[in-house]
A and B are shown apart, each in its own frame.
Chain A
Amino acid sequence: MSGGVDSAVAAARAVEAGHDVVGVHLALSRMPGTLRTGSRGCCTIEDSMDAQRAANTLGIPYYVWDFSERFKADVVDDFISEYAAGRTPNPCMRCNERIKFAALLEKALALGFDAVATGHYAKIVTDASGRRELHRASAEAKDQSYVLGVLTAEQLAHAYFPLGDTPSKALVRAEAERRGLSVAQKPDSYDICFISDGDTKGWLAEKVGEAPGDVIDRTGAVVGSHEGAHAYTVGQRRGLRLGTPAPDGKPRFVLEVRPKERTVVVGPKEALATAEIAGSRFSWAGADPVASGLVGEAGEPFECDVQIRAHADPVPAVARLVDGELIVRPTTPLDGVAPGQTAVIYVGTRVLGQCTIDRTVSAVPVSA
């Protein structure tokens, strides 16, 4: 229970479904922030008080479990080192993979619980043979299946998402109101929870340090300078402050970030188009679709949709597994794909699996 409305209502529904429910708030920082108005994350004293009030209202026991060490190692330090390596990670996914459905789940199972229920908007569908599938939530606008795409069959076996069937967040808020939960109108959190002021760039600059270098175009010509490559993301246009204008006078975008060389590569918008993405760190969300015959033999292409950000639209694609690598070719090129992002592939509403993007193939060959 984060202290937000979703987990409070999820807990209420789990109680109503007849389960023996205990509210657990995760302590993810040894030094919780002071009182902050509104909700930016899940680590403030106010959030833990809100979570406890919700548990009290529901009449369930409430505890705070400390996973701050693992959270720092697996999520925060990972976030920093990924950025330092020029990749763009999704810390919420990492938290689901390593904390909520690993450290928390394993502790819960050891202590005698059967499952971890969360306020995520996603559905678990059990097929005819009892296998569990992860699907998009009924509330399309709030669907969070993307950030859960990293869960394996073993993790999904103990996951429970009571909000999956609810058509909208407004209904969840109304239900919270009806149940007398004080967090009914609490604002949503959008930012990264461990960056308290929401200034990701400033936070990263402090952690990674400044490392000035060159901004170059695709031919290698130096067209400007920067204070630290980590401050740039693929697809970015604003704030490049390039001295030399492009020969064609068109705006330039960040195409690539190479922190080791302290270099940022820029180029025309067309050059952002990505024809192919691939990653060797992939997993299936639930049963192996090859083994279960949903997709063809390894190596054979299959149709799917690919989504590369939590709030991006899915794009039709053809995927195939080649030599331990998941290769995805969208039918129309994708814009602004950065290594380190996660590509989640869907068939219909079903999450098939995900890979961390290691390499991309541009749709436009270098010519200028």
Chain B
Amino acid sequence: MAYLDHAATTPMLPEAIDALTAALAVTGNPSSIHSAGQRAKRLLEESREQVAATLGADPIEVVFTGSGTESVNLAIKGLYWRRQADASRPRLLVPLGEHHATIDTVEWLATHESATPVDLPLDELGRLRLDALAAELDGNEASVALATMLWASNEVGTIQPVAEAAALAARARVPLHVDAIAAYGQVPIDVRALRRATDAPGGAGLVAVSVSAHKIGGPAGIGALVLDRSAQVEPLLHGGGQQRRIRSGTQDVAAAAAFAAAATSVAARLERDAARMAVLRDRLVAGVARLVPDARLSGDPDPAGRLPANAHFSFPGCEGDSLLFLLDAAGVNVSTGSACQAGVPEPSHVLLAMGRSEPDARGALRITLGHGSTEADVDAFLAALPEAYERASRAGLAARSTSFDR
């Protein structure tokens, strides 16, 4: 079987499994005062330090959460609520094509907290239009609660102009949250350096970055929010006051240790791995272009502008789920890339935001590589693709008329 859906989740690294199983045997709640608690606390804080080191953050700035989604919720809701404390700042700047963790959180704030979302357009490569962000921050920035964006698109892999956006936010004294869940482990992330380079004032510019462990070879069930010291958020969870009172709840020492092991390992060989992925990805893209000339690569065609492990295509006249099924039957696991409701792939809102048609958006396929991926995996995909494409074309779009109609 060729597993080419590492953006959904990637297998745990052996070092993460080792760290997890070793830490599971440690007795003690890190909040306890006795020596067992202190031993657990030491393991937890060492883990926090290691994760912080991979993100250019101080350990105190790393808040462990239960998932990437929780990190995004904490950042967006937490910042939004706190920003209403001393003035009314209803506007929330959000690019189109965000992950549902952001879209649905913003929608919730609009419905329940009178937030005013402001859509920021993408260009045809799926990249945030900086001129639109600049326009929203020029003159009426006083009414902006925060801006949020992806570090790189989870679907089409386009790397976003984070440094430029962070500079605009810093200048306008607006806090910026970046969802780096898809980018983490594939491109360098250094919060401290970016804040310095953009001359970010306290509480503004890049203040929050969301990441998740299971996308980099750690366990599912733990994420982190890097929250700059100067930034203030209202907590989502109330209770024991753990983690600077920002995220109450007994901390999962074993998950943190495994997260740290994966993060450290990935960071140490990030450049080498990225280069290796890019070679595999280029082989895959070239193979698709050769075998299915009608297929259209989505996102940035320039390898430097997209995540090294991401390839994303539209196959005109096909349903993505037909392709997914046929490839699955041939032993190749890929994704349609878009959000699912009860297992139903929707036409990708990311592609629609890039100006693509709905039929185009329905025929999307995302192929993502990971640490275990090999040339053989890519070749298995390429071997299965022509027949899958041929059959899926014959099946066509679900809404079309059929030969049984009368």
* Chain A residues within 8 Å of B, Cβ to Cβ: 22, 25, 27, 30, 32, 45, 48-49, 52, 61, 63-70, 73, 98, 101-103, 105-107, 110-112, 152, 154-155, 283
Q: Which of B394, B396, B399 has the most CB of A within 10 A?
A: B399
A sample of 4 more A-B contacts (CB under 8 A), given A27-B342, A65-B398, A110-B396, is A105-B402, A106-B395, A155-B404, A283-B406
A64 x B405 contact (CB < 8 A)? no
Q: Which among B319, B321, B391 is the interface contact of A112 at CB below 8 angstroms?
A: B391
A111 x B391 contact (CB < 8 A)? yes
A45 x B342 contact (CB < 8 A)? yes
* Chain B residues within 8 Å of A, Cβ to Cβ: 319, 321-322, 325-326, 328-329, 341-346, 391-392, 394-396, 398-399, 402-406
**Interchain residue pairs A-B with the least CB separation, the first 5:** A110-B395, A64-B343, A102-B404, A69-B399, A106-B402
Within the complex, the shortest CB–CB distance from A364 to chain B, in Å, comes to: 36
Distance between Cα atoms of A303 and B387 in the complex (Å):
51
Closest chain A residue, CB of each to CB of B396: A110
Closest chain A residue, CB of each to CB of B326: A111
Distance between Cα atoms of A229 and B110 in the complex (Å):
41
A70 x B399 contact (CB < 8 A)? yes
Distance between Cα atoms of A70 and B396 in the complex (Å):
13
Q: Which residues of A contact B399 (CB under 8 A)?
A: 69-70, 73
A70 x B398 contact (CB < 8 A)? yes
B404 x A63 contact (CB < 8 A)? no
B345 x A111 contact (CB < 8 A)? no
Q: Which of A22, A66, A105 has the most CB of B within 10 A?
A: A66
B405 x A63 contact (CB < 8 A)? no
Distance between Cα atoms of A102 and B399 in the complex (Å):
11
Q: Which among A22, A69, A98, A111 is the interface contact of B395 at CB below 8 angstroms?
A: A111
Q: Which residues of B contact A69 (CB under 8 A)?
A: 398-399
Within the complex, the shortest CB–CB distance from B77 to chain A, in Å, comes to: 22
Distance between Cα atoms of A334 and B319 in the complex (Å):
47
Q: Which among B325, B345, B403 is the interface contact of A66 at CB below 8 angstroms?
A: B345
A64 x B391 contact (CB < 8 A)? no
B342 x A111 contact (CB < 8 A)? no
Given A63-B321, A69-B398, A111-B391, A101 contacting B404 (CB threshold 8 A): yes
Closest chain A residue, CB of each to CB of B403: A106
Q: Which among B329, B344, B398 is the interface contact of A107 at CB below 8 angstroms?
A: B398
Within the complex, the shortest CB–CB distance from A108 to chain B, in Å, comes to: 8
B405 x A102 contact (CB < 8 A)? yes
Within the complex, the shortest CB–CB distance from B57 to chain A, in Å, comes to: 38
28 pairs of residues in contact across A and B, judged by CB atoms under 8 Å: A27-B342, A27-B344, A30-B346, A32-B341, A32-B342, A32-B344, A48-B343, A49-B342, A63-B343, A64-B321, A64-B342, A65-B321, A66-B319, A66-B398, A68-B344, A101-B404, A102-B402, A103-B398, A105-B404, A106-B403, A107-B398, A110-B395, A110-B396, A111-B391, A152-B404, A154-B404, A155-B404, A283-B406
A110 x B394 contact (CB < 8 A)? yes
Within the complex, the shortest CB–CB distance from B131 to chain A, in Å, comes to: 34
Q: Which residues of B contact A73 (CB under 8 A)?
A: 399
Q: Which of B322, B325, B343, B399 has the most CB of A within 10 A?
A: B343
Within the complex, the shortest CB–CB distance from B354 to chain A, in Å, comes to: 21
Within the complex, the shortest CB–CB distance from A342 to chain B, in Å, comes to: 15
Distance between Cα atoms of A312 and B128 in the complex (Å):
62
Q: Which residues of A contact B325 (CB under 8 A)?
A: 22, 63, 111
Closest chain A residue, CB of each to CB of B340: A64
Closest chain B residue, CB of each to CB of A67: B398
Closest chain A residue, CB of each to CB of B325: A63
Distance between Cα atoms of A183 and B402 in the complex (Å):
33
Distance between Cα atoms of A32 and B342 in the complex (Å):
8
Given A61-B328, A112-B391, A66 contacting B404 (CB threshold 8 A): no
B321 x A66 contact (CB < 8 A)? yes
B344 x A66 contact (CB < 8 A)? yes
Q: Which residues of B contact A27 (CB under 8 A)?
A: 342-344
Closest chain B residue, CB of each to CB of A31: B341
Within the complex, the shortest CB–CB distance from B345 to chain A, in Å, comes to: 7
Distance between Cα atoms of A102 and B403 in the complex (Å):
8
Within the complex, the shortest CB–CB distance from B72 to chain A, in Å, comes to: 23
Within the complex, the shortest CB–CB distance from A360 to chain B, in Å, comes to: 24
Q: Which residues of B contact A61 (CB under 8 A)?
A: 328-329
A98 x B405 contact (CB < 8 A)? yes
Closest chain B residue, CB of each to CB of A47: B342
Distance between Cα atoms of A110 and B325 in the complex (Å):
12
Distance between Cα atoms of A37 and B1 in the complex (Å):
38
Q: Which among A52, A106, A110 is the interface contact of B404 at CB below 8 angstroms?
A: A106
Q: Which residues of B contact A101 (CB under 8 A)?
A: 404
Q: Which residues of A contact B342 (CB under 8 A)?
A: 27, 32, 45, 48-49, 64
